[in-house]
Amino acid sequence: MNTHRSIDLRHLILTFILLLAFPVEARSQVLWSVQGPEGQQNWLLGTVHSEDARLLDFPPELLDALAQSQRLALELVPDMAMMETLNQAMHFPEPRLHAVLEAGLYQALVEILDQHYGMGEPAVRRLRPWAAAMTISVPPPQTGLFMDLALAVRARSLGLEVMALERLDEQLDFLAGMAEPMQIDLLRQAVADFPRQGELFEELLQAYLSGDLERLETVAYAQMSELDPELRDHFEQIGMIQRNHTMVERALPLLQQGGLMIAVGALHLPGTDGLIALLRDAGFTLEPVTSSIPNS
């Protein structure tokens, strides 16, 4: 196993989705009651794909909802086969990154990955540009127990079935499917932002911990504003809107049965193409559950 395999690959990809912004129709809520037309009780939770300890102090309202559920639906459920597929997707078959990037950008990337992520230069050469960008866009993982995984562990301890709303290839498409020049632009921005990485991530996290989705959207939009407009549009259309519709379509039969908790990245919830609006359009009644955020 390569040294960089210790990095939580799912954590890297899913965290970056948090940087996407959408208009928000409801404020200060990340946990929602979702009731079907015949009274079927379900829940919708916005998460942050991070291992920060503040996120793992689950509030009583969330624990109560989880205890009343029968199934937990995440974006992806990690297993060994999925992680191996992710690892393969993140790498060129042969060392190539040093030939793809200009010398200055490549050297800056090597220094960041060596000093902060413990990744040697031979391993860096095999990373695809989008994978290198994802790696340095989030803090180096320490425990690997990110919020979604902690929820899954808790759910399984309660006897809940844990399932995925997406396939890995669908979630990777908006990254691996980018043209190489777009991947390099993304990496260039990630290298430029790296000195402020901790500050930027903390700003996003504080917005979430405050429970204010409007503030979260504003912060995320500001952090994405320096990306090329074409790249931002690609992330919005493929990384968010398309995936939101897919997740809702697959969740609907389970929601009709009741007892489902959906837990996905918080910025999948708001907006005209967000899960809140799409579920309401499908005939469900959504109401915020108060005091539903982890303790800050």
Listing DSSP states for 234-275 in one string gives: HIIIIIIIHHHHHHHHHHHHHHHHS-EEEEEEGGGSSSTTSH
In the block, tokens 């690892």 appear at: 87
Tell whether 224 is covered by a domain: yes
Tell whether 102 is covered by a domain: no
CA 121 to the chain's CA centroid: 27
- Biggest alpha carbon distance in the chain? 62
Tokens representing 266 are 């918080």
Write out residues in the chain with pLDDT < 50, as ranges.
1-28, 292-296
Distance separating the N- and C-terminal Cα atoms of the chain: 36
pLDDT at 27: 33
Tell whether 162 is covered by a domain: yes
Q: pLDDT tens digits for 105-162?
A: 999 999 999 999 999 999 999 999 999 999 998 888 888 788 988 999 999 999 999 9
Tell whether 131 is covered by a domain: no
d(CA 173, CA 28) in angstroms, rounded, equals: 31
Three-state SS for 125-169 is CCECHHHHHHHHCCCCCCCCCCHHHHHHHHHHHCCCEEEECCCHH
Tell whether 89 is covered by a domain: no
Tell whether 95 is covered by a domain: no
pLDDT at 292: 43
pLDDT at 206: 86
Buried b (16+ CB within 10 A) or exposed e, 247-263: bbeebeebbbebbbbbb
Neighbours of 53 (CB within 10 A): 11
Tell whether 73 is covered by a domain: yes
pLDDT at 291: 53
Domain carrying residue 34: 3-82+144-175+197-288
User: Amino acid identity of 143?
Assistant: T
Instruction: Measure the CA angle with vertex 291, ends 74 and 155; round to 5°.
Output: 30
- pTM, two decimal places: 0.83
| Strands of the 161-164 sheet, one edge to the other | 161-164, 71-74, 260-265, 41-47, 31-35, 285-288
d(CA 21, CA 25) in angstroms, rounded, equals: 13
Q: Domain tally for the chain?
A: 1
User: Amino acid identity of 245?
Assistant: H
Tell whether 96 is covered by a domain: no
